[in-house]
Homo-oligomer: A and B are copies of this chain.
Amino acid sequence: MADVAERAGVSTSTVSRTLRGLSTVSPEVRARVEQAARDLNFAVSRQAASLVTGRTGTVAVMVPTLNSWFMGSALSSLAPLLRAAGMQLNVYEIPDLAERTAFFEHLPARRNADALLVFSFDLTDEETARLDDLGMPVIYVSQHVEGRPSVYVDDVAGALHGTRHLLNLGHRRIAFVPTEGASGFTFSSNERLLGYRQALAEAGVPLDDDLVVSTRTGSKRAAAESLGALLSLREPPTAVFAEQDEVAVALIWNLRKTRIAVPERISVLGFDDQPLADWFDLSTVAQSPSEMGRLAGELALKLIDDSDGDHERHIVLPTHVIPRGTTAPVATRPAGQPERPEGPEESEAPGSPASA
């Protein structure tokens, strides 16, 4: 910066003022300084600046993985927003328990970011408390933490509406397939289960715990097992509501393999509306992670600017039922009994794998 100052024939203070866009610089001087900075290819060291301002110009995000549709979408909308605000984006990927322990032990974000966005973790109270005295705004995303800024989807309502969709199609035996929380985060399983139950209750359909069978995500095999449990019930379901699109698709995959027609014999509903859903023509409950990322980012910026300000601190996002080709009115005959001989089904959307 000293070089720039010398070249422009001013003091470093003036250079600093100019480069930060303060208005207290005369136009001619400003021009000269900017030219000098450009000539010398100069960029301010945030490190040095932050030392005196106490701000790092960085927003940290803590994510369970970077390799998922959800995180990709969320971060994709977050990143440009931060850049536009002149902020850097720092990513902490915490894939397993060991990393998680280490993270909470050292809290590496401390003093190295102006705000922290925590994505999709089910934190213990102790961990939350630890984040509380991190000395920066902490925003919980895709989860809902009492008394802290949170941005999340209304999972209860989403599952409620999804289940109602199935009920409206005449289904009464509706299974729910939640995803087993692998490494301490559950993608809102509980809330979605709640919404499912609520819908059944309000429709006067008796709850049947046999119809709730959890599975692991992304595994065709695990889906097959869950499916087996459901299909071998005395009274099997006519519709299955999977807590995630991936699981829904795995179920469909297995159903097709078994030559059980979807949606004629059994309807399948997902949750997320990720691209896979479109490929498989899957009916689903849509949520928008990109919207979530955007709102979380905006909230973060507001809280950095003015952490005691009067901001909406609990932002709840809506969901939408997207009916596609895998949900249909319940067959008039009891499920499990074919309406007609097995064989090729009639034409259907090519995106949905057929049995034939």
Residues of chain A at the chain B interface (Cβ within 8 Å): 41, 43-48, 50-51, 56, 58, 65-69, 71-73, 75-76, 79-80, 83, 88-93, 95, 99, 106-108, 110-112, 133, 218, 249, 253-257, 275-276, 279-280, 343-345, 349-356
Residues of B within 8 A of A353 (CB): 350-354
Q: List 26 A-B contacts (CB under 8 A).
A: A43-B108, A45-B51, A45-B112, A46-B112, A47-B112, A65-B76, A66-B72, A67-B69, A67-B72, A67-B73, A71-B72, A75-B93, A76-B93, A76-B95, A79-B91, A89-B92, A91-B91, A218-B275, A253-B350, A255-B350, A257-B350, A276-B276, A276-B279, A279-B280, A343-B344, A356-B356
Q: A112: shortest Cβ distance to chain B, in Å?
A: 5
Cα distance A89–B79 in the bound complex, in angstroms: 13
Residues of B within 8 A of A68 (CB): 72
In chain B, what residue has the closest Cβ to A343? B344
Cα distance A39–B58 in the bound complex, in angstroms: 26
In chain B, what residue has the closest Cβ to A56? B47
Asked if B80 and A76 sit within 8 Å, CB to CB, the answer is: no
Residues of B within 8 A of A356 (CB): 344-345, 354-356
Q: State how many copies of this chain the complex holds.
A: 2
Interface centre among A66, A110, A275 (most CB of B within 10 A): A66
Contact among B72, B133, B279 for A253, CB-based, below 8 A: B279
Interface centre among A47, A58, A66 (most CB of B within 10 A): A47
Q: A138: shortest Cβ distance to chain B, in Å?
A: 15
Asked if A80 and B99 sit within 8 Å, CB to CB, the answer is: yes
In chain B, what residue has the closest Cβ to A352? B353
Q: A47: shortest Cβ distance to chain B, in Å?
A: 4
Residues of B within 8 A of A106 (CB): 43
Cα distance A275–B245 in the bound complex, in angstroms: 14
Contact among B50, B67, B88, B276 for A76, CB-based, below 8 A: B67
Cα distance A156–B71 in the bound complex, in angstroms: 32
Q: A2: shortest Cβ distance to chain B, in Å?
A: 14
Residues of B within 8 A of A275 (CB): 218
Given known A-B contacts A91-B91, A253-B279, A356-B344, A66 and B76 have beta carbons under 8 A apart: yes
Q: A62: shortest Cβ distance to chain B, in Å?
A: 11
Asked if A66 and B75 sit within 8 Å, CB to CB, the answer is: yes
Asked if A83 and B93 sit within 8 Å, CB to CB, the answer is: yes
Residues of B within 8 A of A76 (CB): 65-67, 93, 95
Q: A221: shortest Cβ distance to chain B, in Å?
A: 13
Asked if A256 and B79 sit within 8 Å, CB to CB, the answer is: no
Cα distance A347–B279 in the bound complex, in angstroms: 21
Q: A140: shortest Cβ distance to chain B, in Å?
A: 20
Residues of B within 8 A of A110 (CB): 41, 43
Q: A121: shortest Cβ distance to chain B, in Å?
A: 16
In chain B, what residue has the closest Cβ to A105? B38
Residues of B within 8 A of A51 (CB): 45, 47-48, 51
Q: A33: shortest Cβ distance to chain B, in Å?
A: 15
Cα distance A255–B83 in the bound complex, in angstroms: 42
Cα distance A142–B47 in the bound complex, in angstroms: 30
Asked if A350 and B256 sit within 8 Å, CB to CB, the answer is: yes
